[in-house]
Amino acid sequence: SLDASNQPDFAIPTGVFAETVTSIEHYTDRLFKFRITRPASFRFRSGEFVMIGLPNAEKPIFRAYSIASPSWDEELEFYSIKVPDGPLTQHLQKIQPGDTVLMRKKPTGTLVNDALLPGRRLWMFSTGTGIAPFASVMRDPETYEKFDDIIVTHTCREVAELKYGQDLVQALKADPLVGEMAHALRYYGSVTRQDHDHTGRITDLMRSGKLFDDLGVPPITPEIDRGMICGSKAMLADTKAVLEGFGLQEGANNKPATFVVERAFVD
Task: Print the binding letters for residues 58-87 with ligand A2P: x by CB under 6 A, - otherwise.
Answer: ------------------------------
Alpha helices in the chain (DSSP H): 89-92, 132-137, 141-146, 163-173, 202-208, 210-215, 233-245
Q: Closest CB to ligand A2P among 129 and 258?
A: 129
**Smallest distance, ligand A2P to C-beta of residue 68, A:** 17
Question: Quick check: 241 binds ligand A2P (CB under 6 A)?
Answer: no
Contact with ligand A2P (CB under 6 A) among 12, 234, 241, 252: 234
Question: Quick check: 157 binds ligand A2P (CB under 6 A)?
Answer: yes
Residues 107 and 77: their CA atoms lie apart, in Å, by 14
Select the span of 72-80, 181-189, 221-229, 231-239 touching ligand A2P (CB under 6 A). 231-239
Question: Quick check: 238 binds ligand A2P (CB under 6 A)?
Answer: yes
Question: Quick check: 203 binds ligand A2P (CB under 6 A)?
Answer: yes
> Strand order of the sheet with strand 149-156?
185-191, 149-156, 121-127, 225-231, 259-263
Burial class (CB in 10 A: 0-12, 13-18, 19+), 58: exposed
Nearest to 60 by CA among 15, 22, 94, 108: 15
Residues 220 and 245: their CA atoms lie apart, in Å, by 10
**For residue 238, which amino acid is it?**
D
| CB neighbour list of residue 137: distance below 8 Å, 6 or more residues apart | 46, 47, 70, 111, 112, 113, 124, 143, 228
Q: Closest CB to ligand A2P among 42 and 212?
A: 212
Contact with ligand A2P (CB under 6 A) among 24, 222, 232, 246: 232
Q: Closest CB to ligand A2P among 64 and 177?
A: 64
Q: Closest CB to ligand A2P among 6 and 232?
A: 232
Q: Closest CB to ligand A2P among 126 and 143?
A: 126
Select the span of 53-61, 152-160, 171-179, 212-220 touching ligand A2P (CB under 6 A). 152-160
Question: Quick check: 172 binds ligand A2P (CB under 6 A)?
Answer: no
**Smallest distance, ligand A2P to C-beta of residue 27, A:** 13
Size of the residue set binding ligand A2P (CB under 6 A): 14
Question: Quick check: 89 binds ligand A2P (CB under 6 A)?
Answer: no
**For residue 197, which amino acid is it?**
D
CA 186-79-4 angle, 5° bins: 155
Burial class (CB in 10 A: 0-12, 13-18, 19+), 15: exposed
Q: Closest CB to ligand A2P among 127 and 258?
A: 127
Q: List residues binding ligand A2P (CB under 6 A).
A: 127-128, 155-157, 192-193, 201-203, 232, 234-235, 238
